[in-house]
Chains A and B, each alone.
Chain A
């Protein structure tokens, strides 16, 4: 479960302060976060991931209140339990498909890069329709393929929570459908909590809960 209480956050030097009295998201649920650009959806996802720390209030995932964890503990927590998906994919151009999927294992010592991890990476990439492109540089992939690599990277460490920021924002309808199906399949199979910030209202019926962020913070 994700629980947010009395949260306040402002970027240093920023005029806008995000205030959120309370929000709870059930484990294993699929939640869509909608709202106008700039209302703070991405900031909230970063606070949930522990990338940002609230000025006051708390963000709790399971039994862990993120703001009480040290920076390194938060980092390890994020690497092991949270999968992040970005609108611009944020892949490393100088790595191939498999290396991008395995990236969390290479950059965080709390994850062990062993044969099992490699097998899982291959299985995920195969499942994402990238079977014959495992050693291809990501610069030579289509937009849809790149986002699927980004999804595989988010799922490789078997996260408890997947936080996706506009994951279909740069995709055509076919690839959008494929990406969402992939996320849904994973959530259904592993009971992962899924929180997606999106502007795409066509996707909303596929979520258990839709939160209008503008209403939430007013």
Chain B
């Protein structure tokens, strides 16, 4: 058998292009259903795990999936905003504790999550270095975000502009990193957490500039009236909130009118949850409320259904590929008839010839199985983030 294996190895090495094509075809054939199964299982597990820890979610009416993906994973389409007054509405019911989320901007590729410190307690996020944010302009980074941005406590990060060509849009804000979170293996690792009011400053809904009511600011004043001062274009907004200028920062309009993306509602008990769900059933209701688990189950059911189709197609293609591979081997044996006859003439048994051909097939299958297993391991390791990137 050793001789057959040796000759098989030499033959496959000599015909390396044919061998590579066979191995690649078989690897794909073996990996597709396996990888798909792993991908779906892992994705379902991760999606459910995040959704299970989020009892209720309130946001603007529209796609519940977009809302859930944005609020849970900080990715995907930006849903319509709701007004911040909705937070007070939830609180006033006495049925649940509200945690606002404003997820719109980014620091490079990392999502900026405007929220309150309650979010840290709710998700069990622990500070690994530094401290939580306490004033406007401070931020706390998830472990992956800190690694990606290569910053730590006391370093600075700058928000990325929403649109490079929007001259009237929000100015980038320079923020101080006050802390880095311990790794959790959740989307929180990639986020830049700020106070929800800081996120409004990033959005341009709050800003800071020189006090125009003072007499020495006359050069920047276009018009003074009794109740207001109109500035001219020479007034510069502060692009960083510091101890010196923090008093100059202010928001125009009512806080309750400012936007947020969603509210995490943490009901006191099951009864409160049911009651709160009922509060948002009205026809004129501007918000929707959802149980993320149900939305994710729906998504997973769709994914599983798609997987079924893909597996069916893969099996069909696999059958065709297998037939092709068989015919390649069969043709190969026919082409090698003379070589195999010579082997028999110089003392080789038919059994050895069978072993030689079997070893060639076995080596190709073993290689393909090894590659497929390697790909499956990679899928298990990185597939979930890949599929999340594809879904959201």
Contacts and interface: CB of A to CB of B under 8 A. Distances in A.
Interface of A: 46, 49, 51, 72, 75-76, 78-80, 84, 86, 90, 92-95, 99, 103-108, 110-111, 113, 137, 153
Counting contact residues on chain B (CB < 8 A from A), the size range is 10 to 19
B347 A94 contact: no
Contacts of A86: 342
B345 A51 contact: yes
A104 B346 CA distance: 7
Contact of A153 (B10, B346, B348): B346
Contacts of A104: 346-347
A51 B349 CA distance: 11
Interface string B306-342: 0000000000000000000000000000000011001
B15 interface: yes
What secondary structure prevails in chain B residues at the interface with A? helix
Contact of B3 (A79, A90, A106, A110): A106
Interface of B: 3, 6-7, 10-11, 13-15, 338-339, 342-349, 352
A107 B6 CA distance: 10
A76 B339 CA distance: 19
A49 B347 CA distance: 10
A48 to B, nearest CB: 12
A78 B347 CA distance: 6
A75 B347 contact: yes
A94 B15 contact: yes
A46 B11 CA distance: 27
A92 B339 contact: yes
Contact of A94 (B3, B11, B342): B11
B342 A75 contact: no
Contacts of A137: 14
16 contacts: A49-B345, A51-B345, A75-B344, A75-B347, A78-B345, A84-B345, A86-B342, A90-B345, A93-B14, A94-B14, A95-B10, A107-B347, A107-B348, A108-B349, A137-B14, A153-B346
Nearest to A157: B347
Contacts of A78: 345-347
A75 B348 contact: yes
Contacts of B344: 51, 75
A175 to B, nearest CB: 21
Given A92-B339, A104-B346, 15 more contacts: A46-B345, A72-B349, A75-B344, A75-B347, A75-B348, A94-B13, A94-B15, A95-B7, A99-B10, A105-B3, A106-B6, A107-B343, A108-B347, A113-B3, A153-B346
